Amino acid sequence: MLYLDWAATTPPYEEVVTAVAEAMRSHYGNPSSIHGLGIEAERLLGRAKDVMAAALGVDGRELIVTSGGTESNNLAIKGAAWANQSRGRHLITTQIEHPSVLEPLRQLEESGFEVTRLPVDAQGLVSVDALAAALRPDTVLVSVMHVNNEVGSVQPLAAIGRLLADKPTVLFHVDAIQSIGKLPLGLRELGVDLCSVSAHKFRGPKGVGLLYRREGVRLVPQLAGGGQEQGVRSGTENVPLVVGMAKALRLAMQGRESRTEAAYRLRRRLAAGIAAIPGLAVSGPDQEDCHAPHIVHFTYPGMKAEVVVHALEQHGMYISTKSACASGEDQPSAVLLAMGYSGAQAASGLRVSFPAELPEAEADRFLAALAQVAEQLAPARREQHGRRRR
């Protein structure tokens, strides 16, 4: 088996599995309880937050534990919008955000907020000038993802941070779910106010994540209850999963630079090999510094992406189409459509995502299988293309 869908989820480190199991066995107290087991669990939770804060370069008190990236994005966007509605009800994002950003914004529109969705260019990049032009006196939030989960485009966060630096009434939210542990992300240096993190994207457990909230930023809680997590996110913290997330984040940050370099080398090898296969076209940014190291996206116009995915599965190889949250939908990729691709191209998008440790021989084995699949499917593709032309 060759698993090349690491942007959807990652296998946990063995150390993470061990840490979660040990915490479940030995630290099962409720961290809100006042007895010894509860106090012990609370201390373990605090130590885990300190580890993650050190890895992210922030203060542990600025971290809110959530159930994952979707909740972090919802809490950041809805919480900030409702907390600041007295100052304005205008929000800005891009057209290629993850559904866990776009859907909360759509819900806020139904409640009377206004949302500007900035277009992107053919590389999948947003224009900072367009963002500057979209800002209004009543703008209270800008939400831009760091790395696009489909095509791997890296948004110009530093330039956006500089733009917003002298606009203290505008909060800056970053969905960093695809970039943590892969690209540098200085939250303080970039002027980020809110940042979403999901553990299972960097070899941690599923069902747990973080929201970084800069000190002083107000959020309206989205869950009513016991007031855990500084009153922002009610619900008993899942201490074992938080411990596993802390372990995974520490491991992901260790040696990140060398792993990133290795991943970029692999990406160049895969992209060149895919581009050499007739009928396939690599998509995303041309410049490497605008592209994530762990994603290669390509299209096979005239052939449904799902057909290619299942054909490769027969070879024991697993890739994906679009976001895992939307892969079951029989619709062209909204991200590719926003980038200017045709409907046929947007329906044929495929994503390869991989670890930096992938051996070159395995990358070459995948390319050989992909070339074989493309050759086998070529007659059907030509037939479908011909029917459309008639």
Task: Give me the catalytic one of 159, 325, 337, 378.
Answer: 325
325 catalytic per annotation: yes
Distance, in Å, from the CA atom of 227 to the CA atom of 232, rounded to the nearest integer, reads 7
Distance, in Å, from the CA atom of 34 to the CA atom of 37, rounded to the nearest integer, reads 8
What is residue 108's DSSP assignment? H
Burial track 251-262 (b if 16+ CB lie within 10 A, e otherwise): bbbeebeebbeb
Distance, in Å, from the CA atom of 239 to the CA atom of 41, rounded to the nearest integer, reads 7
In DSSP notation, 10-45 reads -PPPHHHHHHHHHHHHH--S-TT-SSHHHHHHHHHH
Distance, in Å, from the CA atom of 311 to the CA atom of 21, rounded to the nearest integer, reads 37
Distance, in Å, from the CA atom of 182 to the CA atom of 260, rounded to the nearest integer, reads 6
- Tally of CB atoms within 10 A around 314: 9
Distance, in Å, from the CA atom of 150 to the CA atom of 351, rounded to the nearest integer, reads 7
* Nearest alpha-carbon partner for 296 in 278, 320, 330: 320
Distance, in Å, from the CA atom of 278 to the CA atom of 302, rounded to the nearest integer, reads 13
Contact, 35 vs 182, CB < 8 A?
no
Radius of gyration of the chain (CA): 22
Residue 90: phi and psi, rounded to 5, are -115, 130
Angle (deg, nearest 10), helices 305-313 and 360-389: 140
Distance, in Å, from the CA atom of 245 to the CA atom of 237, rounded to the nearest integer, reads 13
- Tally of CB atoms within 10 A around 102: 20
> Looking at the annotation, which residues are catalytic?
325
